[in-house]
Amino acid sequence: MPDGLQRRALRAAAVLALSVVTACAVMRSDNRLTLNALDEHLSPSSTAGRWAVAPVALPVGLVALVADAFVVHPATVFDDTWGDTVDWLWTPDPDESRFRRAVLLPLITLATPVVYVGDWFRRAFFAVPPRESEP
């Protein structure tokens, strides 16, 4: 690969990575459950205490952020994902006939896992607001 083309490809990859990171789910503070718990319960109140624990707090904070991004937050969106799948596929339109619903049932059944997994990836890794809770 020529040197100029390689630099352009590297710049394009960097721009793509930055755009993905800005839409990352853990960029919203309500999606960082582990890091918020650490801040709330283990953060010293004095400035001297903060400086004293900084060498330990930075690596622990990074591990908590990675755990939030790849374990905790993805595990908390299962119910929202199921609600989306039910709304999108299994909730009939008011003007839909029973016959049409019966004809579409096999297709809806086959589409359910695909829609569920796709929506789970969307909710787990991008900043999608949670569903409104039903009364």
Decide if pLDDT at 1 tops 60.
no
* Token pair for 18: 């930055």
Q: Counting Cβ atoms within 10 Å, is residue 26 exposed (0-12), middle (13-18) or buried (19+)? A: buried
Q: Is the dihedral of CA 89, 90, 96, 101 positive or negative?
A: positive
How far is 105 from 45, CA to CA, in rounded Å? 58
The vertex-96 CA angle with 92 and 101, nearest 5°, equals: 70
Q: What pLDDT band is residue 126 in, cutting at 50, 70 and 90?
A: confident
How far is 78 from 47, CA to CA, in rounded Å? 39
pLDDT of residue 10: 84
The vertex-18 CA angle with 12 and 23, nearest 5°, equals: 130
Average pLDDT, the chain: 86
- Per-residue pLDDT, averaged over 104-119, amounts to 95
Name the range with the highest mean pLDDT among 37-46, 53-62, 106-115, 126-135: 106-115
* Backbone φ and ψ of 95, nearest 5°: -95, 10
Contact 103/69 with Cβ under 8 angstroms? no
Decide if pLDDT at 28 tops 90.
no
Q: What is the pLDDT of residues 13-27, one digit of tens each?
A: 877 666 656 567 888
Contact 130/95 with Cβ under 8 angstroms? no
Kind and range of the H or E run holding 61:
helix 47-67
Q: What pLDDT band is residue 66 in, cutting at 50, 70 and 90?
A: confident
Decide if pLDDT at 111 tops 90.
yes
Q: Which of 25, 31, 35, 44 is nearest to 64 (CA)?
A: 35
Beta-ladder partners of 24: 126
The pLDDT > 70 percentage for the chain reads 90
Question: Is the pTM value of this prediction over 0.95?
Answer: no
